[in-house]
């Protein structure tokens, strides 16, 4: 396989990981980290210019191009944020240089794993990649070595492993379904081959396979009731990782689900994956919305909001149809950007206030106006208030659903409303009222946060036609 952008997306992080593992001194390594992420992002963008041919192991099509660019972009901005964040952590003495080295290396490994999962043309390879991503995040969640962090990591690890197991079983079943048609060997695991023959696969096998894949990868997506690992992993890991988890890893797992959904959709006699996804989506949305009300830990709260939005996205894809799929893609993109922006803000806030307890922060718009209003803007965005991007996708999801399935739409609307209530209940406590806690000015890099929010704000009122056509192609792909 000659070196093209596709290989670049994988090789750059891999090389960077090796280098970072070798490099001492966090300043230089932080810069290298940013540089590598930037390069990866650039190569990913170049995929739009020249689309490399897809081989038996790797492929690029409209679907994963969107995901890759999103992943690499958020990955890039997160490295900028992480540079200032980790700097503060080292000064605060919460992390030792050796751990920071490990952290940076792991970060690039994670990037590598996620990109691999996205470009993998082979369901087995994809599975391996996602397992790798999971394991790296497990290690990074536990990086603070505090009791709670280890707890969270362990929980994540156990539940994740079971999820991995289920997903593997599903993958094997898909192979079993494909093997009689396509014949033994590698081909029976290659997407590009599978989709061509999917119509002749054994539907019953596909059904069972999808159940296992839904639960296996659904665990990674964080769908209720498989979500248990997610809030703690977000709350206890370093904030950049929370951002990456919410912003990217969930998407990658979702991407896997979508692939298999397409496979089932191609087979006429297999069960429609829609209803399952819709049900899980609604459950997650409602459940997470109610969970928001009793949260005391700011990061955990936003973790739950991620669950809620993953529910909405899965719901949208489950509904299917051009409009809903488009909305789902848009919502996913907007959610990644917004949620990571929020976590950037939260990271700095918790560093300023020296705590993650909502009760101990307050009047943030007074003590740290920029952070405070940034957070308010982010929450407004995540709550689906215009003129921010998520409003558009929610508009499309709800209004397109209501005409088809009024009751589902109503339930979804209730979920959204309850979620709004929960978010702002806490936001009022954080951002307004008499300022509480230390008000030291944060030495923060606001650029990533506001860059994301700016994109989200623009997208709320204007989507560039190129993006739209891209999304529409993907939506058509998803059927």
Partner 1 sequence: MRGNLTFDIAHLLAGSLVLVSFLQLYQARLYALLNIYALHALVLAASVAWQAFVQGAPHLYVTAAIALVFKAIVIPVVLHRIIVRLGIHREIETVVGVGPAMLAGMGLVALSMVVMLRVTPGADPLAREDLAFALSVVLLGLLMMVTRRNAVSQVVGFMSLENGLVLAATGARGMPLVVEISVAFSVLIAFIVIGIFLFRIRERFDTVDVQALDNFRGERR
Partner 2 sequence: MTVVYALCGVAALLAMAPAAIALSASARSTATVYGASLIVTLTLAVISLICLLGYLPRSAVTLPLGLPWLGAHFRIDALSAFFLVVVNLGGASASLFALGYGRHEHSPQRVLPFYPAYLAAMNLVVLADDAFSFLVSWEFMSLTSWALVIAHHRVAENVRAGYVYLLMAGFGTLALLLAFGLLAGGHGDYAFDAMRAAHPPMLLAGLVLALAIAGAGSKSGVVPLHAWLPLAHPAAPSHVSALMSGVMTKVAVYGFVRIVFDLLGPPDWWWGMVVLAIGGATAAMGVLYALMQHDLKRLLAYHTVENIGIIYIGLGLALAFRVHDMPLAAALAFTAALFHVFNHSIFKSLLFFGAGAVLNATGERDMEHLGGLIHRMPQTAFVFLVGCVAISALPPLNGFVSEWLTFQAILLSPQIPAWGLKFLVPAVGALLALSAALAAACFVKAFGVSFLGRARTPAAAHAQETDGNSLAAMYFLATLCLLAGILPGIILDALAPVTQSLVGSGMPHQAGLQWLSVVPIAEGRSSYNGLLVFVFVVLSGSVAAIAIHRLASGKLRRAPAWDCGYPDPSPATQYTASSFAQPIRRVYGASIFRAREIGEMPPPGSLAAARLTVELRDLIWEGAYARIAGFVGFAADRLNVLQFLTIRRYLTLVFTALVLLLLVLAIWP
Residue 155 near residue 232, CB atoms below 8 Å: yes
Look at residue 152 and give the partner it binds from partner 2, partner 1, none, a contact being a CB closer than 5 to 8 Å depending on partner kind. partner 1
CB of 208 to partner 1, least distance (A): 6
- 124 lies in the binding site for partner 1 (CB under 8 A): yes
Among 48, 57, 102, 432, binds partner 2 (CB under 8 A): 432
- 162 lies in the binding site for partner 2 (CB under 8 A): yes
Nearer to partner 1 by Cβ, of 26 and 229: the residue is 229
- 205 lies in the binding site for partner 1 (CB under 8 A): yes
- 460 lies in the binding site for partner 2 (CB under 8 A): yes
Dist CA 293 CA 42 (whole Å)? 41
Nearer to partner 1 by Cβ, of 152 and 283: the residue is 152
Range 330-369, binding partner 2 (CB under 8 A):
363, 365
Q: 360-394 burial string, b = 16+ CB within 10 Å, else e?
A: ebbbbbebbebbbebbbbbbbbbbbbeebbbbbbb
- 418 lies in the binding site for partner 2 (CB under 8 A): yes
Among 3, 50, 93, 185, binds partner 1 (CB under 8 A): 185
Residues 79-118: x where in contact with partner 1 by CB under 8 A, - otherwise, as a string: ----------------------------------------
Range 139-158, binding partner 2 (CB under 8 A):
154-155, 158
> Taking CA 241 as the corner, what is the angle to CA 454 and CA 170, rounded to the nearest 5 degrees?
105
Burial class (CB in 10 A: 0-12, 13-18, 19+), 347: buried
CB of 404 to partner 1, least distance (A): 30
How many angstroms separate the Cα of 178 from the Cα of each of 55, 258, 466?
A: 19, 18, 36
- 294 lies in the binding site for partner 1 (CB under 8 A): yes
Look at residue 428 and give the partner it binds from partner 1, partner 2, none, a contact being a CB closer than 5 to 8 Å depending on partner kind. partner 2
* Binding region for partner 2 (CB under 8 A) out of 61-69, 106-114, 186-194, 428-436: 428-436
Look at residue 131 and give the partner it binds from partner 2, partner 1, none, a contact being a CB closer than 5 to 8 Å depending on partner kind. partner 1
- 268 lies in the binding site for partner 2 (CB under 8 A): no
CB of 97 to partner 2, least distance (A): 33
CB of 461 to partner 2, least distance (A): 5
Among 202, 307, 336, 426, binds partner 1 (CB under 8 A): 202
Applying CB under 8 A, the residues found at the interface with partner 1 are: 124-125, 128, 131, 135, 147-148, 150-152, 154-155, 157-158, 161-162, 164-165, 168-169, 172-173, 175-176, 179-180, 184-186, 188-189, 202-205, 208, 232, 236, 294-297, 300, 357
């Amino acid at each position: 396989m000659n070196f093209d952008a596709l290989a670049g997306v994988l090789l750059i992080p891999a090389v960077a990981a090796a280098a970072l593992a070798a490099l001492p001194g966090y300043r230089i390594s932080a810069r290298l980290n940013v540089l590598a992420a930037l390069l990866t992002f650039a190569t990913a963008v170049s995929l739009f210019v020249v689309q490399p041919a897809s081989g038996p192991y790797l492929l690029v099509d409209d679907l994963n191009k969107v995901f890759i660019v999103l992943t690499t972009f958020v990955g890039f901005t997160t490295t900028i944020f992480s540079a200032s964040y980790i700097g503060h952590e080292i000064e605060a003495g919460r992390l030792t240089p050796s751990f920071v080295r490990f952290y940076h290396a792991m970060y690039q490994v994670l990037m590598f794993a996620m990109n691999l999962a996205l470009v993998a043309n082979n369901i087995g390879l994809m599975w391996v990649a996602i397992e790798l991503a999971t394991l790296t995040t497990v290690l990074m969640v536990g990086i603070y070595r505090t009791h709670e962090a280890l707890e969270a990591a362990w929980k994540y690890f156990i539940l994740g492993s079971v999820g991995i197991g289920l997903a593997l079983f599903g993958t094997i079943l898909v192979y079993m379904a494909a093997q009689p048609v396509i014949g033994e060997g590698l081909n029976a695991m290659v997407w590009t081959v599978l989709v061509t023959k999917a119509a002749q696969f054994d539907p019953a096998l596909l059904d069972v396979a999808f159940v296992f894949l839904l639960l296996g990868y659904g665990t990674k997506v964080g769908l209720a009731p498989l979500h248990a690992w997610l809030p703690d992993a977000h709350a206890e890991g370093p904030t950049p990782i929370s951002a990456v988890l919410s912003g990217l890893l969930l998407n990658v797992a979702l991407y896997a689900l979508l692939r298999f959904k397409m496979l089932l959709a191609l087979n006429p006699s297999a069960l429609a994956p829609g209803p399952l996804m819709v049900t899980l989506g609604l459950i997650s949305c409602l459940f997470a919305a109610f969970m928001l009300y009793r949260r005391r830990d700011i990061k955990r709260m936003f973790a739950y909001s991620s669950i809620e939005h993953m529910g909405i996205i899965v719901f949208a894809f489950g509904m299917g149809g051009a409009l809903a799929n488009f909305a789902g893609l848009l919502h996913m993109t907007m959610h990644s950007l917004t949620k990571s922006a929020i976590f950037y803000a939260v990271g700095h806030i918790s560093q300023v206030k020296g705590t993650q307890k909502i009760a101990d922060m307050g009047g943030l718009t007074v003590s740290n106006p920029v952070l405070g209003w940034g957070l308010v803007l982010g929450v407004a965005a995540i709550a689906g208030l215009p003129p921010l991007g998520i409003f558009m996708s929610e508009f499309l999801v709800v209004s397109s659903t209501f005409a088809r399935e009024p009751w589902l739409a109503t339930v979804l609307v209730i979920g959204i409303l309850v979620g709004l209530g929960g978010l702002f209940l806490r936001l009022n406590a954080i951002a307004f009222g008499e300022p509480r806690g230390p008000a030291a000015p944060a030495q923060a890099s606001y650029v990533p946060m506001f860059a994301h929010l700016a994109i989200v704000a623009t997208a709320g009122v204007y989507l560039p036609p190129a993006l739209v056509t891209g999304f529409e192609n993907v939506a058509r792909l998803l059927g």
